[in-house]
Amino acid sequence: MIHSTRISRRGTLKSAAALTALGTLCFPAISRAQADTVKIGHLTPRTGFLGPLGEYAVMAADLAVEEINARGGVLGRKIDLIKEDSVNPQTASVKAERLIERDKVACIVGEISSAACLTIAQVAQRTKNLYVNTGGNSDALRGSNCNKYMFHVESQNSMYVKTVGRSLLANNLVKDKKWYSLTADYAFGHDLLRVAKRFMEGNGGQFAADELVPTDVADFSAFLLKIRNAKPDLVVSNLAGNQITNFLKQYSEFGLTFPVAGFGFDTAVAWGAGKGNFFGIWPLVWHHLIDTPGSKAFVAAFTKKYGKPPENQAWGDYISMHIIAKSMNDIKSIEAVKLIEHWEKGAKFDLLKTREGYFRAYDHQLMHEMYAVEALKANELKNQWDIYKPSPPVPGPNEPLEAIAATPEENACKMSA
């Protein structure tokens, strides 16, 4: 029996709004840290449109810590990884502060959203703690927003653009060609669009159009109709996370045949697109087909633990944990200032690739090899994971690693102490 309680529409709407706001906060993590451990904070989006990638980051960080602890940990102490969902830039900042002030972590690792990287970096700078960015791409983080306490294992947008750019130049898709670009409407996308434009204009291409796509857009049909009408020579994706999956699925649904390339990419979003829905040329910092003993061992360990191969975001968090642990052991200190000094001096690291890498002192960007991958056709697929054909490492063996990175002129960084 339903009785008529007095429910005001306005009251209900207000409550709904309040609850939605509540949803953007999150629940505190339970930390079970002990005094004889080295605590490291891991912050990355585990919900929202970047959540799928965050999941790989967390799995990989867990695996790395397991390996490090099995080999004796850091300076005889075990690593205690305190993991949090960073949710959004504001929450990321609050949680970073809590990790540093309450949990007293030695450093913070992680993140994917460039906007959240910035707020975490500000906390790190204020509290003089170390932050290692494993997934935020924007050049501005290494340029106008660079700071002494932030290091970047993730590649900057310029490196992504120049890596794929080489394939596009080789395929004659730049000079005198019309590009139609779709860009994620937040810090990462805006930054990538700026870098992509610089590359395109520098090489004689032009835009048919560039569109900013809100991050919560799931339906691309209106864009696809416009693209079809504009008849571009190349469709460029500056999208992020789930956006790319939606775009790929619907692009093939509408049967568009213009070549596609992306300047930002994560393998997980293509794995999630479904058979026959992946095409184009895309850049990666790492992929599971790299033929080096280190990468093979990582893929094997990850697959054994989680039942599926790791993707590029997993590499970022995995290798960051190993870089941090090794450096702490090498310099026999867990202090941020000492680590920063060590890295700024150009310490080299095994990155599971053919060449060792190092942090560039002027902007703290990790110098390392990247890859362009080209989607295989549906009839060339042997399994659900190996969906692309990778290029050899970029830059090539005879070039300096800095060849694909932004120059100080392109992306000036004044490191404030």
Partner 1 sequence: MSALFLQQVLNGLLDGVYYLLIALGLSLIFSLGGIVNLAHGAFYAIGAYLTVVLARFIDFGGALVVAPVGVALIGIVIERFLFRRFYREDPILSLLLTFGLALVAEQTLRIIFGAPPLSFAIPQALRGQVFIGDFIYSFYRTILLAIAVGCIVGLWFLLHRTAFGRVVRAGVQNPDMVGALGISLEPYMAAVAGLGIGLAGLAGVLLAPIYSIHPAMGQEIITPAFVVVVIGGLGSFWGVVVAALLVGLAKGLMVAAGYAQFSTAAIYGLMLLVLLFRPRGLFGERIQRFE
Q: Which residues bind partner 1 (CB under 8 A)?
A: 1-9, 11-13, 15-16, 19-20, 22-23, 46-49, 51-56, 185, 209, 211-214, 216-219, 221-223, 225-226, 228-229, 242, 245-246, 249-250, 253-255, 268-269, 271-277, 384
Find the shortest distance in angstroms from Cβ 221 to partner 1: 5
Nearer to partner 1, 13 or 337 (CB): 13
CB of 253 to partner 1, least distance (A): 5
For the CB of residue 379, give the shortest distance to partner 1 in the complex, in Å: 13
Residue whose CB is less far from partner 1, 33 or 381: 381
Ramachandran sector of residue 87 (left: φ over 0; alpha: ψ -120 to 50; beta: rest) = left
Q: How far is the CB of 153 from partner 1 (least distance, A)?
A: 21
Find the shortest distance in angstroms from Cβ 146 to partner 1: 27
Per-residue burial over 361-396, b if 16 or more Cβ lie within 10 Å, else e, is: eebbbbbbbbbbbebeeeeebeeeeebbebbebbbe
Residue whose CB is less far from partner 1, 268 or 351:
268
Dihedral in degrees, nearest 10, Cα atoms 27, 32, 37, 42: -20
Q: How far is the CB of 8 from partner 1 (least distance, A)?
A: 7
Which H or E run includes 168?
Answer: helix 157-170
**Exposure class string for 304-338: b at 16+ Cβ within 10 A, else e:** eebeebbbbbbbbbbbbbbbbbebbbebebbebee
Residue 193 is given by DSSP the state H
Of 212 and 289, which CB lies nearer to partner 1 in the complex structure?
212
d(CA 210, CA 29): 41
| Lateral strand order in the sheet of 150-152 | 78-85, 37-44, 107-110, 130-133, 150-152
Closest distance between partner 1 and the C-beta of residue 113, in Å? 15
Alpha-carbon distance of 330 to 351, in angstroms, equals 16
Contact between 415 and 147 under an 8 Å Cβ cutoff? The reply is yes
Cβ–Cβ < 8 Å for 224, 151:
no
- Closer of 255 and 400 to partner 1 (Cβ): 255
Nearer to partner 1 (CB atom), residue 75 or residue 218: 218
Q: Where is 327: in which H helix or E strand?
A: helix 312-331
Q: Across the chain, which distance is largest between two alpha carbons, in Å?
A: 80
Task: Decide whether 102 or 231 has the Cβ nearer to partner 1.
Answer: 231
Q: Pick from 299, 342, 312: which is nearest to 324 by CA?
A: 342
The Cα 45–Cα 55 span in angstroms is 8
CA distance 160 to 270: 17
Q: Kindly state the smallest distance separating residue 96's Cβ from partner 1, in Å.
A: 21
C-alpha distances out from residue 409 to 143, 144, 309, 362, Å: 10, 12, 39, 12
Rank residues 11 and 204 by Cβ distance to partner 1 and give the closer one: 11
Q: How far is the CB of 27 from partner 1 (least distance, A)?
A: 9
The Cα–Cα gap between 18 and 191 comes to 33
For residue 54, the 8-state DSSP code is H
Report, in Å, the least distance between residue 335 CB and partner 1: 34
Rounded to a whole number of angstroms, the minimum distance from the CB of residue 349 to partner 1 is 28
Please give the Cα distance from 293 to 353 (Å, whole number): 9
Task: Considering the complex, state which of residue 20 and residue 416 has its C-beta at the smaller distance from partner 1.
Answer: 20
Is 203 in a helix, a strand, or coil? coil
Q: In terms of CB distance, is 75 or 230 closer to partner 1?
A: 230
Residue placing its CB nearer to partner 1 in the complex, 226 or 338: 226
